[in-house]
Amino acid sequence: MPKTLIRPFTLPLGGQNIPAFELSDDRIRARFSAFGARMLALYVRNPDGSETNIAVGLATLDNYMAQDSYIGAICGRYANRIKNACYRQDDKTVTLLANEGPNQLHGGPDGFDRRIWQSSIGPDGESVTFSLLSPDGDQGYPGELNTDVSYRITALGTLHCEITARCAKPTIINMTSHVYWNLTGDFTRSAAGHDLQIAADHYLPVDGELIPRPGHADVADTIFDFRKPRRVDEIIDGTPTGYDHNFCLTLAPRGTLRKIAILRDPQSGRRMELSSSEPGLQFYLSQHFTDAMKTPDGTELHKSGGIALEPQTFPDSPNRPDFPSAILQPGETYRHVIEWEFS
């Protein structure tokens, strides 16, 4: 395993100094903040020795706080949408805080992306862990929840993220990383020119509020067929709102780390292979970026400027017994592993 270098530093947020860390090897350099346990940037080394950042980020932590864009953050307790911000548990209705019309998105108005996590460097000196205690009733969720997010470099150019959680009483959980990628490294360019491959035979059709409709749909002969690599912009005209859909992953069962998607920039040749242990992948081509959102070098963001590939369980699973379960019981450990391999 390559030697990982870790450099701690701090970044300002609302008058506070927030812990931040940089992990690097000979191929990649990743930056993280305790605000949202988020990835701020990921630099890949070019053949000429220079570096290019391919992860969308904002200029300051205060800019992240001012946006509801979840850029780079860990989303929880429940990533994605829960219809009508409620679900049934033990024959009772659990009412959550809504933050997208009547529905809840990414854990509510004060989700994990907006928290300042505790942070520590691992005993081996080659990993960083962010920890958060979510109290009983947080955003409406029952039960105290303790969660940890650890980042480390496990092989040359491979970043590993492990999310674990434990609860005091039955609750639901679905956590993911919400990084936006643009492998060109030029955030003035559209990420829709990327080639994308997803290991999924089915996807979930959605209604006007992006809540899954009944059943699954076959990707064959549709704009959602990414079983072989295809340019995103070659087929985007077939869907008026772009992509914000869950893909039902095939291959190994849930709980097994396996490759689920490949993203590639044809011009630079940069390639990212995504692996996860969860059953679904939300593919979102950014539609909410605006020129008021700026990167650290002052570049203005724009629609389609980034692609989010969010491994997770399915949206609205607590209300859908036909979907993979999101229930976590006391004594159990929720564990989601994500890996990004860059070449």
Q: Which fold would CATH assign to domain 56-342?
A: Beta-galactosidase; Chain A, domain 5 (2.70.98)
Judge contact between 318 and 172, C-beta under 8 A: yes
CA gap 329, 167 in Å, rounded: 7
pLDDT for 4 equals 87
Relative to beta strand 28-33, strand 38-45 is: antiparallel
| From 126, 162, 310, 339, the catalytic residue | 310
Task: List Cα–Cα distances, 160 to 127, 138, 275, in angstroms.
Answer: 10, 28, 9
| pLDDT of res. 251 | 79
310 is a catalytic site residue: yes
- Told to judge if 178 belongs to the known catalytic residues of this protein, a careful annotator would answer yes
Q: What are phi and psi of 106, to 5 degrees?
A: 55, 40
pLDDT value at residue 240: 45
Quick one: pLDDT at residue 68? 83
Return the residue matching tokens 């209705």.
93
Q: Which of 106, 160, 178, 336 is catalytic?
A: 178
Tell me 239's DSSP state: S
Q: What is the pLDDT of residue 63?
A: 96
- Residue ranges for the chain with pLDDT beneath 50: 240
